[in-house]
Structure 1
Amino acid sequence: MYVVLLNYTAPIEEIDYALPDHVEWLTKQYEHGYFLASGRRKPRVGGVIITRPMNRGKLDAILASDPFSVKHLAQYEVIEFSPTKTAPELRELNEAVAR
């Protein structure tokens, strides 16, 4: 699984203009079952996405299709990790990763 840190590379006005397209893209990724959580960073310098486990090449392709990426509005830092301990609410996720 991955934690993806988005860092805005454009003024916030450009980010806000592209935000509806980005939200639509996020919705599609949730519908496909790829993403587990996402949101804005505080202060508002970017965002965070937590993904399900997948091939890194697949994740890179998904991120390349983000309107923020297509319009060169953000850069992405991808951190891969394997959860070994989770809260009870995430137990099913941890068991899926362990398989």
Structure 2
Amino acid sequence: MYVVLVTYTAPVSDVDYALPDHSEWLTKQYEQERLIASGRRDLHRGEVMITRPMSRLKLDAMLASDPLSVQHLASYEVIEFSASRTCHELHRINELLAG
């Protein structure tokens, strides 16, 4: 499981122009059950994504296909972690991690 910190590296106007394509990309990631949560960071400086468990290679490929990455508008910090506890709603994901 990963937390991905996305930091915008381009002017806000450039990022805002790319956000519709990025939003479509996010929708596809949710449809493919790769993401658990995502949202904008404060002060419009980037985003945070929490992924389901996957290989690091798969995550890197996923992030490389993000329009913000393709257009060189953001950088990504990836934090890998193993959830030892989750809220009830995420219990199924926690069981996957244990297996």
TM value normalised by structure 2: 0.97
Identity %: 65
Q: Which residue of 2 aligns with 1:68?
A: 68
The equivalent of 2:13 in structure 1 is 13
Give the aligned CA root-mean-square deviation in angstroms.
0.7
Name the structure 1 match of 2:23: 23
- Taking the TM superposition and a 5 Å limit, the aligned residue runs for 1:1-99 are 1-99=1-99
In the alignment, the residues of structure 2 paired with residue 16 and residue 71 of structure 1 have an alpha-carbon distance, to the nearest angstrom, of 12
Q: Partners in 2 of 1:8 and 1:86 — Cα distance?
A: 29
- Deviation track 1:44-84 (CA, whole Å, cap 9, x = no partner) reads 10000000000100100000000000000000000000000
1:17-68 deviation per Cα after TM superposition (whole angstroms, max 9, x unaligned): 0000000000011111111110000121000000000010010000000000
Q: Distance in 1 between matches of 2:8 and 2:97?
A: 30
Deviation at 1:91, TM superposition (A): 1.4
Question: Shift of the alpha carbon at 1:89?
Answer: 2.1
Q: Report how far residue 93 of structure 1 moved.
A: 1.5
Unmatched segments (≥5 aa) in structure 2: none
Q: Detail structure 1 runs of 4+ shifted over 4 Å in the superposition.
A: none
After the TM superposition, which of the residue ranges 14-23 and 87-96 deviates more from structure 2? 87-96
For structure 1, the 5+ residue unaligned runs are none
